[in-house]
Structure 1
Amino acid sequence: MDHRLTPEHEELRRTVEEFAHDVVAPKIGEFYERHEFPYEIVREMGRMGLFGLPFPEEYGGMGGDYLALGLALEELARVDSSVAITLEAGVSLGAMPVFRFGTEEQKREWLPRLCSGEMLGAFGLTEPECGSDAGGTRTTARLDEATGEWVINGTKCFITNSGTDITGLVTVTAVTGRGADGKPLISTIIVPSGTPGFTVAAPYSKVGWNASDTRELSFADVRVPAANLLGEQGRGYAQFLRILDEGRIAISALATGLAQGCLDESVAYAKTREAFGRPIGGNQAIQFKLADMEMKAHTARVSWRDAASRLVHGEPFKKQAAIAKLYSSTVAVDNAREATQIHGGYGFMNEYPVARMWRDSKILEIGEGTSEVQRMLIARELGFAG
């Protein structure tokens, strides 16, 4: 399969690369250390159209595809993952459910603002007692026939983009009934920010992604119109599985960017840092580390682009997305560790980008499906029952 970029995709990649190095890189370290959301940078990303990349122009998007989104995520993550995850979650988890499953009215109400970056959306899936077991959702929503409203109760955790000043909605998975077999029927419901009973907790104190927004959400008799149901009632589980399959491609692109960024920083450092009278890059031990880092980043890039290409062309991509996510997240952690080792003591200092990358890498083996879940999905695609 030919993964060479079209002129349009290459122009986008270069544009985001320049933005990442000229705008994000000089500023993001201060935001990161202050645990502060970079509104100025996000607004500029909105003006560039990055939040609308894979959506049709009729809804305010750029008319691009998932490959375009992945290219933008990779280039951003080469410099910083907090900014990259803000874009990834805003598009793949915030806006994509509305685009994939929303009514025409819902799309026209929400997508233009989500595509422009004027508003961020969030995806309320994970709960304190159900992470990988998303089918064990405990949040409930009952339809009050008298008022025509959903009444939602429950708690969500680790939700990205859920508490910023520009967050406009959270799509929430909730149990809305029981099937004939007694199993819970899960549906997805749009909850606008500021709805009475919808409480957003203070930001988490995190190991990494410190310039992104991550919070716990609680719902106490939250009422929203019945028309806020997203897609078909009882099909929420199937919906979020599709969203997560696509999102794994985006996370893989982000992880590849982090792996490449670790290599970029390490190559530059190895050429200038001297020890025993010469640059450390002259040592074969360092050269072999860099060669392995290059090999891994390159292979991760091929993997996510293959999955994205299959998605764009309407081909099955579940297995390829799981492979890409599993491999690229592993590579991100490997390259972050090696970059820190190459930098020595300086790699442990926050003034160096590799320290930030090291802190940001581990979550990639956990978020949007742990590495264990990816192996389970791959095994199922090979014909083995879970």
Structure 2
Amino acid sequence: MLTDELIQEDTLTPLNTRFSELLSGLKQKLKSVYHERGDINKLAITRGMPPFVMREIMSVNPFSAVIPKEYGGLGGDVTQSIALMSAASYESLALSLTFGINMALFLQPVLKAGQEDTKREVTNRFITQQNMGGLMITEPDFGSDALNMQTSYSDHGSYNHLKGTKHWAGLTGWADFWLLTARKDTGEGRLARDLDFFVCDVTKPNQGIEVEEFFENLGLYQIPYGRNKIDVQIPSVHKLVPEKSGVKLMLDLLHRSRMSFPGMAMGFIQRMLDEAITHCQQRFVGGKSLLGYDQVQQRLAQLQAYYTTVSAFCVNSSKKAGLKYDLSGIGIEANAVKSIATDMMQSASQTLLQLVGAKGYRLNHIAGRSTTDSRPFQIFEGSNDMLYSQISESVVKLMRKQKETNLFDFIKNFDLTSKASSMLKEQFNFNIDLGMPQRKLVDLGQVIARVISINQVLDLSNEGFAPKLIDGATACLRQEIDQLMASFNGSNKTNVIEDYRENSNWLNFVV
């Protein structure tokens, strides 16, 4: 049995071979549950997931790929998790997100900062019992403002008592383990500035989490979300021990997760591309296939550019996002990768929907479903608008430190953009206002993120990736940069008129 083989120490079988066997086994299970035993077009629009689906998928022990050998796993890391998420997202974005939650948001931080007894207990149950884990950070009144979370804990020596409310945690009511964040109660109603992480085992006494409400989430129907009441007593051995601080650990966790987003984007965008090409080959309008129309060619070329760009992200993240690295300080790159990858996911689904036409605008068609399922990726783990703004804020901070105001002079010397700078001198050779308003920060962040993307695509080119796809991706990204620069250089300063109803009813102006 494949699962039994995976947990044995076999020095004769190379890691990549054993992982290839696991990945092949996973793909076979996906084909079985989504196309033979079940119908993905029906399963994906039903709340929750039939037990046989997860039972079959988990039977190949996918998460063992990212668990070190000393804990019974294959010893892999980010490359394997990206490959697993990509395989899953080709069939189901919800399943891929389930994989991402378990690996990037739970297992990896526990492996990095967990105490030894906790790591052994968690990994053993993941491998032998196919347990799952999730992360709870977000609170009803504190979404992106996570540092002001109000979930608190008090230290009682052998255990810590956590109290608060968390919501929008993927796998609500499902996960066996939860990584909970809280701030220490220092007395007199004050909470510590730093935060801490705790591994909550809901199968143990005094650690059960009450689900107060399950949300009717729009899309990603197979993943449960809700509001959770936290009132648990967690053994002190289950508290994570960060190298520096809880905030640094959270940044490291989130940045590593954002660097893993290309895994979910990769399979999804490839599926959108495959579906679009197949449809355009088979659909005839005016006596010729859709492939014969120039506008269709432009849309398909854009999808291939997305495919190539995200491929570059996957290669780059595989090299940079391993657990041995501290990613707390790579905000510019992590934010760019997450934002561009998820923007491309949504755009790819919109393109497929446009090409398919009316029949795609159904919940049980992959085009319509994918448009809904991919949309929240632009929101969770940091709204893309916010992340683009943070990219610019970080760049402006670096420019101030370097006493630099010329944008081109900055990007040609910045390691994330230096390779791409030579093809962008004409657009970037000007001085920027380091005190620009937020809307301009967002515009500039979108531009810089695409320059970073070109840089990574050029790195991929050096690895021998298909030259024609490289050329298409750089051309697409440069065109997007041109369009965004036009917005950035514009002088739109309009603001909302809150009492807009005054003298604005169109019926009063009909002659």
1:333: which partner in 2? 346
CA distance in 2, matches of 1:338, 1:170: 37
> Of 249, 265, 270, which residue of structure 2 is paired with 1:255?
265
Q: 312-321 vs 44-53, which deviates more?
A: 312-321
Within the alignment, does 1:163 sit opposite 2:176 as a pair?
no
1:277: which partner in 2? 287
Gaps of at least 5 residues in structure 1 are: 1-5
Within the alignment, does 1:57 sit opposite 2:84 as a pair?
no
After superposition, the Cα gap between the structure-2 partners of 1:270 and 1:201, relative to the gap in structure 1 and judged at 3 Å, is farther
After superposition, the Cα gap between the structure-2 partners of 1:94 and 1:313, relative to the gap in structure 1 and judged at 3 Å, is closer
What is the CA deviation profile of residues 212-257 of structure 1, one whole-angstrom value per residue up to 9, with x for unaligned ones?
A: 122221123x222233222259933222221111111222220232
Give the 5 Å matches for 1:176-325. 176-177=184-185, 184-194=193-203, 195-196=205-206, 198-220=209-231, 222-232=232-242, 235-312=245-322, 318=330, 319-325=332-338
Give the 5 Å matches for 1:80-119. 80-115=92-127, 118-119=130-131
Within the alignment, does 1:74 sit opposite 2:86 as a pair?
yes
Please tell me the residue identity of whatever aligns with 2:123. Answer: L
CA contact (8 A) 2:260 2:317 kept: no
Q: Which has the higher contact order (CA 8 A, sep 6+)?
A: 1
Please tell me the residue identity of whatever aligns with 2:71. Answer: Y
CA distance in 2, matches of 1:127, 1:276: 54
CA distance in 2, matches of 1:104, 1:316: 20
Q: What's the Cα RMSD here? A: 2.8
What is the CA deviation profile of residues 300-326 of structure 1, one whole-angstrom value per residue up to 9, with x for unaligned ones?
A: 221232122112395676243322111
Pairwise CA distance, 1:207: 1.1
CA distance in 2, matches of 1:300, 1:321: 13
1:3: which partner in 2? none
CA contact (8 A) 1:55 1:65 kept: yes
What is the CA deviation profile of residues 23-80 of structure 1, one whole-angstrom value per residue up to 9, with x for unaligned ones?
A: 4355333222221224323233322231122221222322212011101111211221
2:453: which partner in 1? none
Within the alignment, does 1:353 sit opposite 2:375 as a pair?
no
CA contact (8 A) 1:188 1:229 kept: yes
2:60: which partner in 1? 48
CA distance in 2, matches of 1:232, 1:8: 32
Kindly name which structure, 1 or 2, has the bigger radius of gyration based on alpha carbons: 2
Please tell me the residue identity of whatever aligns with 2:211. Answer: V
CA distance in 1, matches of 2:323, 2:249: 20
Identity of aligned residues (%): 21
CA distance in 1, matches of 2:243, 2:86: 35
CA contact (8 A) 1:12 1:68 kept: no
After superposition, the Cα gap between the structure-2 partners of 1:213 and 1:298, relative to the gap in structure 1 and judged at 3 Å, is same
What is the CA deviation profile of residues 256-304 of structure 1, one whole-angstrom value per residue up to 9, with x for unaligned ones?
A: 3222221111111111123333322222221211111111121122123
Within the alignment, does 1:370 sit opposite 2:379 as a pair?
no
CA distance in 2, matches of 1:373, 1:7: 41
Instruction: Name whichever structure is richer in strand by fraction.
Output: 1
Equivalent position SS for 1:130: coil
CA distance in 2, matches of 1:260, 1:117: 32
Pairwise CA distance, 1:184: 1.9
Please tell me the residue identity of whatever aligns with 2:59. Answer: R
CA contact (8 A) 2:112 2:323 kept: no
CA distance in 1, matches of 2:104, 2:34: 21
Equivalent position SS for 2:94: helix
After superposition, the Cα gap between the structure-2 partners of 1:211 and 1:274, relative to the gap in structure 1 and judged at 3 Å, is same
Please tell me the residue identity of whatever aligns with 1:334. Answer: S
Pairwise CA distance, 1:350: 2.3
Please tell me the residue identity of whatever aligns with 2:315. Answer: R
After superposition, the Cα gap between the structure-2 partners of 1:16 and 1:320, relative to the gap in structure 1 and judged at 3 Å, is farther
Equivalent position SS for 1:78: helix
Q: 307-316 vs 91-100, which deviates more?
A: 307-316
After superposition, the Cα gap between the structure-2 partners of 1:299 and 1:10, relative to the gap in structure 1 and judged at 3 Å, is farther
Name the TM-score, length of structure 1 as normaliser.
0.88
CA contact (8 A) 1:42 1:117 kept: no
Equivalent position SS for 2:168: strand
Gaps of at least 5 residues in structure 2 are: 1-15, 399-440, 442-511
CA distance in 2, matches of 1:321, 1:376: 13
CA contact (8 A) 1:178 1:185 kept: no
CA contact (8 A) 1:162 1:215 kept: yes
Please tell me the residue identity of whatever aligns with 2:194. Answer: L
Please tell me the residue identity of whatever aligns with 2:314. Answer: W
CA contact (8 A) 2:160 2:234 kept: yes
Q: How many residues align?
A: 375
Equivalent position SS for 2:364: coil
Pairwise CA distance, 1:98: 1.6
CA contact (8 A) 1:42 1:83 kept: no
